[in-house]
Amino acid sequence: MSMEFSPRSARPDPPRARPTRRSLMASTGVLPLLLAGCGADPRVSEDPQELAMWYWNRGASPQLIEQLAEQIPGTDKHLLADMIGTTFDTKLRTSLAGNAYIPDITYINSNNALYFTNEDLFLDLSELGADSVKEDYYEWKWNLGMTPKGRFCFFPVDIGPTGFFYRQDLFEEVGLPSSPEDVAAATSTWEDWIALGAELKSATGSFFVNDAQSIYLAVLDSSPERYFDKNDAPLYLQPNSTVRHAWNLAVAAIEAGITARIPQELETDRNAAWSSGLTAGNLGAAWSTQILEESAPGTAGKWRIASQPVRAGNNGGAFIALPYTCKDPEAAMRLITWITSPENQAVAYEDVQLFPSTPESFEQLTYEGDFYGDQDPLEFFSTAAKTVPTSFISALETSISGAFSRELLNVETGGKDPELAWSHTLAQAEKVLAKRGVEV
Amino acid sequence: MSTDTPARPDTRATSVPRAKPHRRLRATFPIYLAISPFYVLFAIFGLFPIVFSIVLSFTDWDGMGEMSFVGLAQYQYLLTDTRFWNAVGNTFIIWFLSTIPMLFLAMVIAFLLHQNIRFTGFYRVAFFLPNVTSMVAMAIVFGSVFSDTFGLINSALTALGLDTVPWLSSSWGIKITIAVMVIWRFTGYNAIIYLAGLQSIPTDLYDAAKVDGANMVQVFFRITVPMLRPIILFTVIMSTIGGLSLFTEPQVLLGDSGGAGEAGMTIVLYQYNQAFTEFDFGYGSAIAWALFLIAAIFSIINWRLVSGRSERTPRRRTAAKEARR
């Protein structure tokens, strides 16, 4: 959000044609209307030696970007990196829609499925030789970068393998399994996991997790099947769908009383619940190791991470894409493979804690700190990442997933009847899809 | 002939004034140029988006792909969208819960600040301070004060032996919390406006009241409030517009989702949600225009309510009655 680091300041400003007027117009969307067909360059930078890249704060390692600003290895080009603040997607979409100020290279977050309907605006990286490094990356992450048409448009950056964080001391106190291995062994199914949570609740009064939504997502994110198949046919309507299964488990957890009813948006409450021991666990991704460390510093050394039931899932993780206007796709491809190489992902982890999508990176990394006792979260999550299944996220998902979490929250905090909530969810989803022209 | 005759008066009629606008334009050009920056900027940043949003509301557009014309489909959907009507209801409840206590408090504060008390300058700054406080910092403070489990208010309630209130996860709790945030933020602002109004009331009115033996409460209700009517109208309309476009408070307190049961989902937050998190710009624009309509209707109602009792209207009515007789 803040602009404490500006890679531009490293070099003199590039020559640009009347930037004030153009940026003024482009930002309102007038430019595409006024200059449509006037032959205006749709790129951020007109300098042929310069590739412009958009990313967000902590989305890429400043150290690596500084090197790229000098020279992109293996080419005679250099990088102009623009740190885009909030509403990244809106800005990227605006520039693509207006056909103006499009970066040559852009980061895209884990919501890359939003861009599937307009995948033609991005280059197929397979045609640029991306497949030669495919073996270096976790296969499921690589597959998430594939569009429904089978084009490879989104190159892996970081990942978010998931696990179950828990307070070992509280588990130990009341005689529950407490080592990561024992907890994982005692919770091989979600039903067992809920049962263990109920035991903990009756013995200590502590909740297992903060909200039911985290359970719903943990089940969904660790499943090969999600809301839709590759043809956008709805799977969630089938009686034994993963979505329904995840919903049922979340409802069962609510009924067992193991969720603290603190929605994740209420960060203050969430942090207080962790640091006070009101909540003794968290289903989270690799990036939440740090969140937990920062929000509950008083509980250092007491947390451990166990494998979540069934298998690990993935929550979050960015991509890099090349818009069709990229002025030198080959050099851009070199940049991508350089910045996401196993060595440089290790650098990025040390720099801004991006969890590497290349298993090899972990050979160079060691975890410093004792928040998780003698356990090494890096080792845990890099192992967990191997069990994440390949899944497909549909472009339609974001329009309906909100209905599921809203109604689940109504069940959790408002005491709404789960079956009624489920039927409301389906009705809402159907309505939204119908508006988007999809009949279910 | 037939073509000549009408042409002649035409040239004569236009030739005389034609020279004038030219000269007038040359004379007034620098003035227009001087005021043009506002109009140019307004055209780009105000007028264009407004007009474009009308166009958008008749289309289905995800913000980057192709726009498709859908006619009135977005408005049709809006009428049957329970989430939208929930947002309308929330907005009005929060507006009601916040505006009335806020304006009353502001009036009282302004009245007290207008008295001859010490440290007036300090109080004026102190009451205005919330208005310029960072909203994000404020949301953290309010989140802590109203927190369900760890909040100051619930701790106080427990200490008094009362039941705790789920401020941030129940329908009314969320609305009251947001209303309190609004009150906290804008009371001082309105108080300063009232204070400015108070200072324009001639002091001889107060002196006369004092001579007649009126007490402070009588002075407040019989002189201050009636004399402030135009200022009150201004603040009521401003708070109506502000209340109907409420966005920041629920957004920073509860996130984009509007909290449990969407109890904190306001019209503008819903619009933001549709346009910028679900990238449904057509529907977002339709919501914006629905809000415009609602705001227009309520401004008119407000105007009627607050200025309706002015002296002109009854006089005109009696005049009309007399004329009828």
Average pLDDT over residues B122-131: 89
User: B87 and B198: one domain?
Assistant: yes
Cβ-defined contact of B276 to A90 (cutoff 8 Å): yes
* Sequence-separated contacts (24+) of A274-279 with Cβ below 8 Å: A274/A210, A274/A299, A275/A299, A276/B150, A277/A167, A277/A170, A277/A206, A278/A206, A278/A207, A278/B149, A279/A206, A279/A207, A279/A208, A279/A209, A279/A210
Which residues from A are below 8 Å from B52, CB to CB?
29
In chain A, where the domains are located: 21-159+316-364, 162-313+378-435
Q: State the pLDDT at residue B19.
A: 52
Q: How confident is the model at residue B308 (pLDDT cuts 50, 70, 90)?
A: low
State the Cα–Cα distance between residues B304 and B290, nearest whole angstrom. Answer: 22
Name the percent of chain A in helix, strand, coil, to the closest 5: 50, 10, 40
State pLDDT tens for residues B130-142: 988 888 888 889 9
The pLDDT of residue A264 is 86
Lowest mean pLDDT among A156-160, A357-361, B7-11, B122-126: B7-11
CB-based contact, A413 to chain B, within 8 Å: yes
State residue B262 phi and psi, 5-degree precision: 50, 35
Q: How far is B65 from chain A (nearest CA, A)?
A: 6
Residues of chain B neighbouring A273 (CB-CB closer than 8 A): 149-150
Q: How many Å apart are CA B194 and CA B190, to the nearest integer? A: 6
CA distance B288 to chain A (A): 18
- Residue B12 is assigned to a structural domain of this protein: no
Residue B279 has its nearest CB partner, among A93, A269, A412, at: A93
Q: Which of A143-152, A279-288, B58-67, B68-77 has the lowest mean pLDDT?
A: B58-67
Which two tokens mark B87?
């947002």
Query: Within this chain, do residues B28 and B134 fall inside the same structural domain, yes or no?
Result: no
Nearest CA to B263 out of A417, A413, A426 is that of A413
Percentage of residues of chain B with pLDDT beyond 90? 48
Q: What is the pLDDT of residue B18?
A: 52
Q: Which of B48, B62, B281 would best serve as a mutation to test chain A binding (most A beta carbons within 10 A)?
A: B62
How much is the pLDDT for B14? 47
Assess if residue B61 is contained within a domain.
no
Q: Where are the alpha helices (DSSP H) in B57-148?
A: 73-80, 82-114, 120-128, 135-146
Dihedrals phi, psi of A342, to nearest 5 degrees: -50, -40
Partner-chain residue, chosen from A268, A272, A406, that has the shortest CB–CB distance to B262:
A406
Query: In terms of domains, do B173 and B34 share one?
Result: no
Are A280 and A176 within 8 A, CB to CB? no
CATH of the domain at B170: 1.10.3720.10
Domain with B29 in it: 23-48
- Would B175 be classed as within a structural domain? yes
Q: What is the ipTM of this complex?
A: 0.83
| Three-class DSSP labels, A111-157 | CHHHHHHHHHHECCHHHHCHHHHHHHCCHHHHHHCECCCCCECCEEC
Same domain, B42 and B87: no
Residue B241 falls within a domain, yes or no?
Answer: yes
For residue A27, the chain B residue with the least C-alpha distance is B45
Contacts of A269 in chain B (CB under 8 A): 143, 147-150, 168
Secondary-structure breakdown of chain B: helix, strand, coil percentages, each rounded to the nearest 5: 80, 0, 20
Superfamily of domain A162-313+378-435: Periplasmic binding protein-like II (3.40.190.10)
Same domain, B100 and B27: no
Test mutation, B44, B56, B57, B64, chain A, max A CBs within 10 A: B64
Label residues A108-138 b or e (16+ Cβ within 10 Å = b): bebbbbbbbbbbebbbbbeebebeebeebbb
Per-residue pLDDT, averaged over B18-27, amounts to 72
Angle (nearest 5°) at CA B110 between B109 and B112: 65
Q: Using DSSP bridges, classify how beta strands A50-55 and A105-108 pair: parallel, antiparallel or unpaired.
A: parallel
Q: What is the pLDDT of residue B311?
A: 46
SS3 assignment, position B157 = helix
Orientation of helix A329-339 relative to helix A342-352, angle to 10°: 60
Residues B41 and B121 in one domain: no
Helix B281-307 × helix B229-244 angle, to 10°: 160
- As for how many domains chain B has, the answer is 2
Q: For residue B263, which residues of chain A lie inside 8 Å, CB to CB?
A: none
The Cα B277–Cα B317 span in angstroms is 53
Whether A28 and B62 lie within 8 Å, measured CB to CB: no
pLDDT tens by residue, B210-269:
899 988 888 888 888 888 988 998 898 889 889 999 999 999 888 888 888 899 999 999
- Distance from B128 to chain A by nearest Cα, in Å? 27
H-run or E-run covering A184: helix A180-186
Same domain for B89 and B30, yes or no, is no
B60, part of any domain: no
Do the domains at A21-159+316-364 and A162-313+378-435 have one common CATH topology? Answer: yes
Question: CATH class for domain A21-159+316-364?
Answer: alpha beta
Selecting from A94, A117, A399 the residue whose C-beta is nearest the C-beta of B65 gives A117
From first to last of its 440 residues, chain A has per-residue pLDDT tens of: 333 333 333 333 434 444 444 444 444 444 444 444 445 688 888 889 999 999 999 999 999 999 999 999 999 999 999 999 888 999 999 999 989 999 999 999 999 999 999 999 999 999 999 999 999 999 999 999 999 999 999 999 999 999 999 999 999 999 999 999 999 999 999 999 999 999 999 999 999 999 999 999 999 999 999 999 988 899 999 988 999 999 999 999 999 999 999 988 888 889 999 999 999 999 999 999 999 999 999 999 999 999 999 999 999 999 999 999 999 999 999 999 999 999 999 999 999 999 999 999 999 999 888 899 999 999 999 999 999 999 999 999 988 999 999 999 999 998 999 999 999 999 999 999 998 888 77
Q: Report pLDDT for B137.
A: 87
